[in-house]
Amino acid sequence: MPPDADIAASQVIDAARLDDLRALLGDALDDILRTWLDDAPAGLAAARRAGQNGDPDALMNAIHSVKGCAGNVGALELSDGAGTLERRLKRADPALDLDAELTRLDTCYDRAACHIRTLIRS
């Protein structure tokens, strides 16, 4: 799937962050990005399971992990979205539609993954 033309890459990926990581890590960044591409869906799935099981601690841990890992690889939209969800969970927002928010995060991951795949060199 090509990157979504309606969403600017700058909203999805922090290019400066990835440039800094590339300067620091060189080609090792490609392995890190591949690992993130493989691991991030499991974090999102863990959040969904925790929500379905009514386990607020596991849900918070999963969302916090998604936020941090996404931020580490410059997946800006996903990290910001997970951060917003994390804050809403902390304050027990009564208007929160958890299923819709997790679906939105899945979409953010898909967009980030499309962009990141184009950046992997080897």
| Residue 34 falls inside a structural domain | yes
List all residues 6 or more positions away from 116 whose beta carbon is below 8 Å from its beta carbon: 13, 33, 36, 37, 73, 75
| Residue 113 falls inside a structural domain | yes
Does the pLDDT value for residue 70 go beyond 90? Answer: yes
Q: How far is CA 32 from CA 1, 4, 95, in A?
A: 21, 23, 36
| Residue 81 falls inside a structural domain | yes
Report the amino acid identity of residue 47: A
List all residues 6 or more positions away from 83 whose beta carbon is below 8 Å from its beta carbon: 67
> Please, what's the b/e burial string for 52-69 (b: 16 or more CB within 10 A of its CB; e: otherwise)?
eeeeeeebbebbbbbbeb
CATH code where residue 68 lies:
1.20.120.160
| Residue 1 falls inside a structural domain | no
| Residue 3 falls inside a structural domain | no
Predicted structure pTM score: 0.89
What is the C-alpha separation between 76 and 88, in angstroms, rounded?
A: 18
pLDDT level of residue 1 (50, 70, 90 thresholds): very low
Quick one: residue 75, left, alpha or beta (phi over 0 = left, psi -120 to 50 = alpha)?
beta
Q: pLDDT for 76-115, tens place per residue?
A: 999 999 999 999 999 999 999 999 999 999 999 999 999 9
pLDDT level of residue 9 (50, 70, 90 thresholds): low
| Number of separate domains in the chain | 1
Does the pLDDT value for residue 11 go beyond 90? Answer: no
Query: How confident is the model at residue 46, as a pLDDT?
Result: 98
**Radius of gyration in angstroms for the set of CA atoms belonging to the chain, rounded to a whole number:** 15
- Domain extent for 33: 9-119
| Residue 100 falls inside a structural domain | yes
